[in-house]
Amino acid sequence: MSDRTPQSAFFDRAKKPPATEKKQSRRAVEVSNFFLADVQTGLGPFLAAYLAAAHWRPDQVGLALTVGGVITVVVQTPAGSFVDRVHAKRALLIAGSLVLAVGAVLLSLSTDQWAVFIAQVLIGSAAPFLAPTLAAITMGLTGPERFDIQFGRNQSFNSAGNVASAGLIAAISRWFGNRAIFLATALFTIPTVVSILMIRSQDIHHTLARGGREQCDEEPQQTESITQVLLSDRVLLAFLVASSCFHLANAAMLPELGEMLNHGSSTTAAPFMSACVLVTQIVIMCSAAFLGRAANRIGRRPLLLLGFGVLPFRAVLYTLTHATVLLVAIQVLDGVANAIFTVVSVLLVADRTRGSGRFNLAQGALATAVGIGAALSNLIGGKLAQECGFNRSFLGLGVIAVIALLLVWAFVPETLSRVQSASASRSQPAR
């Protein structure tokens, strides 16, 4: 008779899950990132051009985008805390996707203020649950040792979805009009739900998924308090402030470009936005997996300084030309900045919360900081564009980008430990 208890067997399975057993779930997470990106792309920068074509003023467009941003800010941190606690993470992803679909349908039916604002409330309420839940599932599938690599792959698939969606949306808008963009977005929910259901719930280690130490799920580890995680860590606090400034500078730039070109020719606005999104997402798609590995080799800080550093240059370049081809080419810098921020910011949060059981709460706080910056960016950018013109608006946003870079340089040290880097290197399979 074996002297091994069922509990000890559970520990063995939790600590050393066979890689082949979770391969299907890891691939399903990647596919889910692809299709969920399709849904979110149609609700992003295309909305500004859509409303401008419906004769909304720049300040009205900024206000509409701000409404969704404010709702996101309010919900984001509680959403992260909720993801830490809930085990039904697949159901949470499905519910969020369906709410986004409802918002998309509403936008397709009307551009009246009441319809747009209700849709923005729905979208702003659902979106905060999606990214933290996908990251939590990834952490639960891989553990911290291979999270960097898998998260980078996830972002590559996410950007590939954005690329596919942007190309499809450009064709749809050309042949069927701008309203059809949002109907297509709602239809993207169907493959999203199917791919989420392919993730096997038994493959997700829920203690690891919330940033806890590897142990039995039936004996929950005591988590650190919110004060310990968010208020006592000066490095994390400094990074949250820098992230908010980064998106305060970044979020309004692409929508303002769409508005600026829409005033010249409304028929070219949607194809231009598609081209910009394509360039940005192709850069992210090609670099995200590499960045996940590079962040373990050279560290988080050098990559962050590079990503934050290109944003001021992008703002200045927008003021030097109105040539469509050159403006699209400038989006390469947007791809570099967003690829680095998307991948490395979550890795930094994972570094600072390892073992705390509050990984998703900190993700929510990061998303809240990003949401505050993005919401204010659309409001401030819209006002500046209305009162001072688009060029001065870009320059004002560029000054904020410089402030974000200085915050990272002065207050955010390297967070990758040598032991962590060596452990990740050993976990990589031989080529």
Residue 353's pLDDT is what? 85
Residue 429 has pLDDT above 60, yes or no: no
Can you tell me whether residue 304 is helix, strand or coil? helix
The proportion of the chain whose per-residue pLDDT surpasses 70, expressed as a percent, equals 83
Residue 425 has pLDDT above 60, yes or no: no
What's the pLDDT tens digit per position in 149-163? 889 899 889 888 877
Residue 1's pLDDT is what? 41
**CATH superfamily of this structure's domain 22-214+227-426:** MFS general substrate transporter like domains (1.20.1250.20)
Q: Which of 39, 61, 54, 49 is nearest to 183 (CA)?
A: 39
What's the pLDDT tens digit per position in 183-242? 888 888 899 999 999 998 888 888 888 776 655 444 445 555 566 667 778 899 999 999
Asked whether 192 and 36 are in contact (CB, 8 A), the reply is yes
Residue 419 has pLDDT above 60, yes or no: no
In this predicted model, which residue has the larger pLDDT, 314 or 54? 314
Confidence of residue 267 (pLDDT cuts 50, 70, 90): low
Segment 342-364 mean pLDDT: 86
- As given in the structure block, the two tokens for residue 7 are 């509990």
Candidate ranges 132-146, 300-314, 377-391; pick with highest mean pLDDT: 300-314
The CA distance from 76 to 125, in Å, is: 8
State the chain's mean pLDDT as an integer: 80
Segment 26-32 mean pLDDT: 91
Residue 213's pLDDT is what? 61
- Which residue ranges make up each domain of the chain? 22-214+227-426
Residue 131 has pLDDT above 70, yes or no: yes
Q: Which of 190, 73, 41, 201 is nearest to 133 (CA)?
A: 201
In this predicted model, which residue has the larger pLDDT, 259 or 11? 259
- Of the listed ranges 44-53, 349-358, 414-423, the least confidently predicted one is 414-423
Residue 273 has pLDDT above 60, yes or no: yes
Residue 265's pLDDT is what? 54
For residue 209, count other CB atoms closer than 10 A to its CB.
25
Residue 17's pLDDT is what? 47
Residue 262's pLDDT is what? 65
Asked whether 358 and 224 are in contact (CB, 8 A), the reply is yes
Residue 225's pLDDT is what? 58
The CA distance from 247 to 371, in Å, is: 8
Confidence of residue 309 (pLDDT cuts 50, 70, 90): very high
